[in-house]
Every structure is written in structure tokens, then in C-alpha cells.
Chain A
Amino acid sequence: MTASFPNTAPPILAVENLRTTFRTERGPLTAVDGVTFSLGEGRALGVVGESGCGKSVLCRTLLGLLPPTARVDPAARVRFYGKDLLGGGASALRRLRGREISMILQNPMSSLNPVMTVGAQAAEPLRVHTGMSRKRAWKRAVSLLAAVGIPRAEERMKQYPHHFSGGMRQRVAIAMALACGPRLLLADEPTTALDVTVQAEILDLLAVQRRTRRMALILVSHDLGVVAGRTDEVAVMYAGKIVEHAPTPALFANPRMPYSRALLESIPVLDNAPHTRLRAIGGSPPDGLELPYGCRFAPRCSRVQPRCLQDEPGLDFEGAAPHGFACWNPFPLLSAGRQGRNGPSEWRRT
């Protein structure tokens, strides 16, 4: 058994035992609790889970964007192309951020300056990180904005963010994030605030840019549907931990950890007939201050056993299979034929 996702491509990012704790009035809150994974060059990893499970804190820890109340366990390791991101001090991270690693957030306004023209902002990272001249950076920014699907880019460079719709702002944020040709893009709920048609367009844009640039992507979303068609592998988080990590098709076809499966089952799908009863998960996730003993999902789990209330299961990968889950009583593995033939709905009938 191995403790992390066996990667075929050489890893560009290797995260080991990441643990981030906040000081709060009510005591220490461990938002990310022992997260381990690695990401191969050009791969897309989806990170899913309900709000509060630690997705954003994970991203911010990787980027070194935590508030002073946060503390990262010194035993944690984060390597980017072998370079230590956590130990190298803030300046090492700052040098990488925006250049080799960049990010986009749910609210594009948080990465845009409302009193600066879009053009000046899009050109800025180019000047700062690559030392381009003002004029060259401006020209390059025009072509970047055009490449992310902003019509009349030249004209729109002179406008301010408030002249842009939500979808167009997110395109600008993507253009800025891609400006210096990053090797890794972290997208934290990039489409959550957008309408469905705009969401589809932005996700397509990200997919195209990732392919043409051979860039690795961590796509964070509370919505399993967002990551379903657009990632190579998916990590499901619950209460600060990765509870299942598998190739995307396997996760959707044969979720092993009961939480992953319950999450999938609770989502209404377009195929449902009107008035279909949903399989809701009772209760709500723990709040990080009062964690249950044993498996954190046990109090809500339909397959709970005595052991689950005592021992916390670790994320285990069975043999060489790239499918890991943290569970003492997982759903059985379906045979490859059954998984393949019937696709994502097979497990529903078992």
C-alpha cells in the first residue's frame, strides 16, 4: 500500500502531510489536516467537497497566502519541481507566484483593481515578472485578452473592471493568471458565481488553455459536475482530509468511500424524472473545532461499524491501483468490465 496517488507523469507538485491550523477565539481549528498528494506535469486534479472542508485553505497554503493567525505544521513538505515551497521563506514563494504558479479565484474582483484599467492590470504581471517594456507588455496583453475570448480586446483594455460582466471579468483574471506561462494553475471555484452558460464557456476556456500550454491544473469546486468532465483525477475532501483520490472516471463509476458516493447520490441530475426523491445525507459536516472521534464521516455514514468510531482510517491505495480511499468499510470494487461498459451509472444499481 502506498499513501499517495501513483503518478505516471513526473510530479511537478508533491504535497506531504500538509496541516494548517488557525488560532480562533474558540480554540485551534485545523482546516487542512494531513493532506498528501502529488500532481504530474500537465495533469488536472479536481478537489471537491462541501463548504468548509478546507479546499480554499489548502490552495492558500500552497500559495503562501495565509493570514497571520494561521500556522502550517513544520513537518509538512510541499515541493514544486523538487524545490521546497514552505521552507524557502516567503520571498521564494513570491518569486514563483504569478510566474510559475498562479491562481484564479471565485470572485474575479478580488484579483482586479477597480480603479485601474483592465489593460494596465493585464500588462502588469508581464512587466513585473518578465521585465518587458511598457509597450511590449501592452501588446502582449491585448493578444492574451483576445486569446481568452474578449471581443474588441484593444478597445476594452482602456476600460475599468466595472464595465465588464462577471464572465468577462473572470476571463480577464484568467488572462492575467496565464500571462507569464505558469506550469501550475490553481483555480478556486472559478465559476461558482457565474451563470450556467458562462460557466460552461469559462470551463472550456480553461480546458483549452491547459491543453495548449501543457499546464497542470488544480480545479477546486463544491460541485462534482464541474470537475467531472474536465479533470484527470479527483480528490474528495471531508473535514480537512482527502477521503478519496482516484482517476476521474473511476471516482464517478465506482466511488469506494461512502461520503463520495453519498455526495454523488445527493445531487439532482438532469435525467431524474420530476419529483424524484433525492438521497440526502443526514446531518451536516463537523465544524473543525469539535471533530468526531475515529472517522470524521462516521456519524453521518450509512455503513458505519464499531471500528469507525474509534480508529481514524488513513488514505490507502490498494496495491498498485491508483484509487485511494480512507474507509474501514468501503463499497466493493466493481470489475473493470462492469465499470467500463455502463459508465458512471453502474454503481447506482448495485
Chain B
Amino acid sequence: MIATSPLLDVRDLTVFFDAGDGRKIHAVSGISFVVEEGEVLGLVGESGCGKSSIARALLQLPRPAAGRVVFEGVDWTRASCRRLRRLRPRLQMIFQDSVSALNPRRRIGDAIAAPLVIMKAGSPKERARRVLKAMHDVGLPEACQRQLPSVLSGGQCQRAQIARSLIARPKMLICDEPVSSLDVSVRAQILNLLEDLRRRYKLAMLFISHDLAVVKNISDRVAVMYLGRLCEVAPAEELYRAPRHPYSRALLEAAAQVDTRQPAAPLSLVPGELPSPADPPKGCRFHARCPVAEKQCSTTDPRLEEIGSGHVVACHFPL
């Protein structure tokens, strides 16, 4: 039974925040997806659509308002806080801002060892050995071990964060915009590093980014999100070649406009602004900006439906 169930199984995940004026921000509204062992699921969508909220809800930081998060057969939403502390090193997170993800007063070596200390794993000697191994894996010179994050470059801090996330030998990483604040040349180094580690350790990943080219480069499947909802999930090649949701198409057109190898083409997107997640539109959340929307779209919320093998889309009139 366990052997056939996915590594991560997320059902109806729902996250609210307080808007401060008595309203509720619908950050994540009933999202379901799975990640198989060794698989990379990319998650794209514009800022504020709820990507980071999903990432944190998976780790129960804070606990989601509703839904299940089953990882390696354990439902994390029902685990006690004490149990969660021990579980979290199994599902590590890498953040965009690597410099502030590291404690400025803690030496790099100690920061990398932290998950082992939390898990009470290994003797101090064994931990030291594993820290060096992890640093080697991510290409950090040994000299960095005793240094503080402030003397490292952005790329080195990101490597340290990756080393820390790997030290407990997790089955899966959650990468939240891991290369967005890095320079182009350093970004390629880190992406290659993640790719190498994924292969070597058969790591699964949830890879979050607003950059569609970056996501395609590393993902097996890609999920597109708009205002707290999933629009479309499909194998990466298929989604980029023939998107079926009008929002996926608009995102790809926008990405093609800043791609060095694609001619610029106009966006098929109704001009306007992202609606407020405190007051999400009725029906399909994308309808006001959708060039092919019909009456039904403003009244009835489309459900995610399978339209091809491993390809689901939430649209009344898929392309």
C-alpha cells in the first residue's frame, strides 16, 4: 500500500490570513496535488497567488485551515507539535533570501548541522563529518565552516542553505524561489547544483518560481496557480508546448517576451489588475482577465478535470 502511494499527497489545502480589516485573505483555496518519489513538481504563478503559503502550509508553519498533507505516509496536519519538530528535517525548505535564512551570528558549519541537532542524530564527531560531506556536496570550501554568513557571497549563502537542507538526508526539498535573488551567472551554478543533487540523491522537489524558463529547466511536471487556485497541472514539455488554460498561455506569452530566443508577441490577457485575495471573484477567479471567458465563467467555479494523461485543467472552455 505504502509503496504505491505518492511521496507527498496534498488534499484540499486551504490557507487563510487575517486581512486586518475583519476580512479573510483566501491565500490558498482547496488545492490538491501529489509529488512522486524523485519527481520535481514546478509551481508557477504571479506574486501573491499563494505559492509561499502552500510551501509553509506543507510544513505546518502555520497549520493550514483545512486539508491533509500526507508525507511518507504520515498526515502532518494531525501530528503533534513535538512530532512535527522531528518530522520537519525530512522535508526541507530552501528560501529565496538565503542571507536572512541563515542566522547572522551562527557560524556556517553550525547552521548546516542544525537539523541533525534537532533530530538528535549522531555523535558530535559524526555530525562534523556529515557537515563536511554536505559542504563538499554543494561546493562550499571547508574554510567557510567557521565563518559567519556576512562574509559569504549570495551564491555561497545559498549553497550553505542547500547543505543544511540536505544534511538530514531528506527525500524531498521545497524550494521557494531559490535562485530569484541571485545573479544570472551564479543562478546557473545553483540550478546545476540542484539538478546534480536531485539526480544523485533521487530527491523529489516542489520547485516554486515566478520564472517560467527556470521552472521548465528543472521540473518533470508543472502546476500553474492563480489567486489561490490551481489552473492547470501537466508534464512540463506538454504544458509549455500546448497550454490549455488561458492563464497558462498568458504567462507563457509574457515569459516569451523576455526570452532571448523568442520573438515578442502580444499578450492574450484582458488589461487589469490582480483581484484582491481578500475578495476573490465569484466563478473562475481568472474570468475578469480572461480573453475567452463566457457568462458561465463568472458564476460557476470550474473544477480541475483530466483532459489528457497526467494533464488536468480547471477551465470551462480549455484552449
Contacts and interface: CB of A to CB of B under 8 A. Distances in A.
Interface of A: 50-51, 149, 151, 165, 167-168, 195-201, 203-204, 222-226, 228-230, 252, 262-264, 266-282, 284-285, 344-345
A277 B194 CA distance: 11
Given A199-B257, A277-B192, 12 more contacts: A50-B184, A226-B258, A267-B260, A268-B211, A269-B213, A269-B261, A272-B217, A274-B216, A278-B188, A280-B188, A285-B185, A344-B260
Given A195-B210, A197-B267, A225-B258, A266 B185 contact: yes
14 contacts: A196-B211, A197-B267, A199-B257, A200-B254, A203-B257, A225-B260, A228-B259, A263-B185, A274-B216, A274-B236, A278-B191, A281-B188, A284-B183, A344-B260
A268 B263 contact: no
B254 A196 contact: yes
Interface residues of B, number: 49
B216 A268 contact: yes
A225 B259 contact: yes
A165 B260 contact: no
Nearest to A275: B195
A301 to B, nearest CB: 12
A10 B184 CA distance: 34
B264 interface: yes
B183 A50 contact: yes
Nearest to B217: A268
B90 to A, nearest CB: 24
Interface string B259-292: 1111110110101111000000000000000000
A282 B191 contact: no
A26 to B, nearest CB: 13
A284 B264 contact: no
A89 B283 CA distance: 60
B185 A272 contact: no
Interface in B185-233: 185-189, 191-192, 195, 210-214, 216-220
Contact of A266 (B187, B218, B240): B187
B259 A270 contact: yes
Contacts of B273: 165, 167-168
Interface stretch (B12-20, B27-35, B245-253, B293-301): B245-253
6 cross-chain pairs, A with B, having the tightest CB-CB distances, nearest first: A225-B258, A280-B188, A266-B188, A195-B46, A281-B185, A196-B254
A229 B183 CA distance: 21
Contacts of A50: 183-185
Given A50-B185, A195-B46, A271-B261, A201 B267 contact: yes
B260 A269 contact: yes
Interface of B: 46-47, 153, 155, 183-189, 191-192, 195, 210-214, 216-220, 236-237, 240, 250-264, 266-267, 269, 271-274
Contacts of B263: 229
A199 B254 contact: yes
B201 to A, nearest CB: 15
A50 B250 CA distance: 28
Contacts of A195: 46-47, 210
Most buried by B among A204, A226, A272, A274: A274
B213 A267 contact: yes
A282 B153 CA distance: 14
Nearest to A265: B188
A275 B261 contact: no
Most buried by A among B186, B188, B237, B264: B188
Contacts of A225: 257-260
B87 to A, nearest CB: 29
B202 to A, nearest CB: 13
B254 A197 contact: yes
Most buried by A among B183, B250, B256, B272: B183
Given A50-B184, A195-B210, A280-B192, A200 B257 contact: yes
A225 B187 CA distance: 15
Nearest to A271: B261
Contacts of B184: 50, 222-224, 263, 266-267
A270 B272 CA distance: 26
A287 B256 CA distance: 33
B186 A284 contact: yes
Given A279-B188, A344-B260, A268 B254 contact: no
Nearest to B252: A270
A349 B311 CA distance: 34
B298 to A, nearest CB: 19
A167 B272 CA distance: 10
Nearest to B220: A274
Given A201-B267, A222-B184, A280-B185, A165 B274 contact: yes
Given A197-B46, A280-B192, A270 B185 contact: no
A146 to B, nearest CB: 12
Contacts of A285: 183, 185
B14 to A, nearest CB: 24
Nearest to A279: B188
Most buried by B among A165, A198, A223, A280: A280
Given A263-B185, A278-B191, A270 B262 contact: yes
A124 to B, nearest CB: 25
B258 A197 contact: no
